[in-house]
Structures are given as structure tokens and as C-alpha cells.
Amino acid sequence: MKKYFLAEFIIFGLMFSFGVMASGGGSNFKALLSKVKEGLLPAKCLFLIVNNGDCGAVQIAKEYGVPCFHISSKTHPDEHEYEKALLKVFEENPIDLLLLAGYMKKIPDSLVEKLPERILNIHPSLLPKYGGKGFWGLNVHRGVLENQEKESGATVHLVSSEIDKGKILAQTSVPVLEGDSPEELAARVLKQEHSLYWNTVLNYAKTLGLL
């Protein structure tokens, strides 16, 4: 069955393009690229943008031959120049979707306006819980544990001008176990993120008529 799906995409040339923005280890970025490589996500990743030149995602981009741009307040201390440099990448590399994969900086409104309903983010909680300013990385899981929640999870949502407030596209939940540390809970959630993200991207691309 899977083979026929892939054959259809190849015969009709149905494919979409995407860019990724990341700041950390890049495991979500890698999970997306591996699904592209396996032929399950009929897409091409045109670039990676990082705001931290030393992050793991940069190495993954090298492994998969994805062009990488480091754009941050270090490379562009002037806010206006920073935004201009970001927008230039999008103008020179037009994409269908922008996927945030552990990107820890707020996306400038100018970019959100340039790609309306085309920017997706993955967040390690069941939004609207544990989202918004301050809730990123391990802070999210610390909050969940402090409140003795019975479950947590991950959410894929559209990016709007308000942090973690855009339309929710999909969620998956995991149990919170007795004695969990923030790191243990983060690892359980992250494992689910890897399958949630590419499946949601695939469905959303179909909804938009890109596939």
C-alpha cells in the first residue's frame, strides 16, 4: 500500500517545500528529514535557520546536505538588520511551509505576516496548558511536575503573533509517572513529538492542497 502512495507522488510530481528553524539538538529536524529520505513525507527541505551556530541541528543539516544559515542577535545586533537578513532567506528560497523545530526565539511579526497559516510549531505540552512566555524546553516539564499533572504531551499548532496561541492542528498525550524528573518527562514527550510532527505536516500539506 505504502509503495503505491509513493509511486503516486513520484508520477504526479506532488511535493512541497519547507524550511526549518531550530535552536537545539535538532532531533525533531532529524525526524522530519528521515521521513523525507524514507519517501513517507514527499517534500524537500530547502534550508535550516539557527540562532545558535553551535547547536546540534547544524550538524544534522550537514549530514543531510541542507543549507544552513546562522542568523541571530550575535550575527546581526541591530534588530532591523536581523529581520532583514531573515526575510532575505525566505525571498531567495521560497517555501510552502516553515516548520519550527525547537526554535527558542520569537518569530518576528513581519515573518508571520509573510507566511500566513504556513508556519507550524511543535510544543512539548498539551497547549493551551504550559505555553506562552517562559514555557520552553525543560521549564515546560518542570511546570507540569510542580502541578502534579497526570498527563502531558505535545502539540503541533499554527504560529500566530502571540507565542503558542495559534490554531491547534494535532496533539498527543503521554502519562506523567511517579518520580519523573523534568528530563525523563521531556524524553517521553520528545519521542512522541518525532512521529506527531511529520504526520501532522503531511496531513496539513494535504489540507492546503500541496499534495
Binding site for ligand GAR (CB under 6 A): 22, 24-28, 101-102, 122-124, 136-137, 140, 190, 193
Q: Which of 31, 46 has the CB closer to ligand GAR?
A: 31
6: number of Cβ within 10 Å: 13
Chain length of the chain: 211
Cell representation of residue 172: 498527543
Q: List the one residue out of 135, 121, 119 whose CA is nearest residue 86.
A: 119
User: What is the closest distance, in whole angstroms, from the C-beta atom of residue 190 to ligand GAR in the complex?
Assistant: 5
Q: Which of 24, 42 has the CB closer to ligand GAR?
A: 24
User: What is the closest distance, in whole angstroms, from the C-beta atom of residue 11 to ligand GAR in the complex?
Assistant: 33
Query: Which residue is at the shortest CB distance from ligand GAR?
Result: 102
User: What is the closest distance, in whole angstroms, from the C-beta atom of residue 60 to ligand GAR in the complex?
Assistant: 9
Question: Catalytic amino acids?
Answer: 123
d(CA 180, CA 193): 18
Q: Which of 101, 210 has the CB closer to ligand GAR?
A: 101
User: What is the closest distance, in whole angstroms, from the C-beta atom of residue 110 to ligand GAR in the complex?
Assistant: 20
d(CA 145, CA 133): 18
Quickly tell me which residue has 550537514 as its cell.
Answer: 62
Q: Which of 8, 151 has the CB closer to ligand GAR?
A: 151
User: What is the closest distance, in whole angstroms, from the C-beta atom of residue 137 to ligand GAR in the complex?
Assistant: 5
Alpha carbon distance, N-terminus to C-terminus of the chain: 17
Say if CB 9 and CB 2 are below 8 A apart: no
d(CA 117, CA 123): 17
Q: List the one residue out of 72, 90, 68, 69 whose CA is nearest residue 81.
A: 72
117 to each of 78, 143, 157, 202, 208, how far by Cα in Å? 28, 29, 10, 15, 10
Q: Which of 122, 211 has the CB closer to ligand GAR?
A: 122
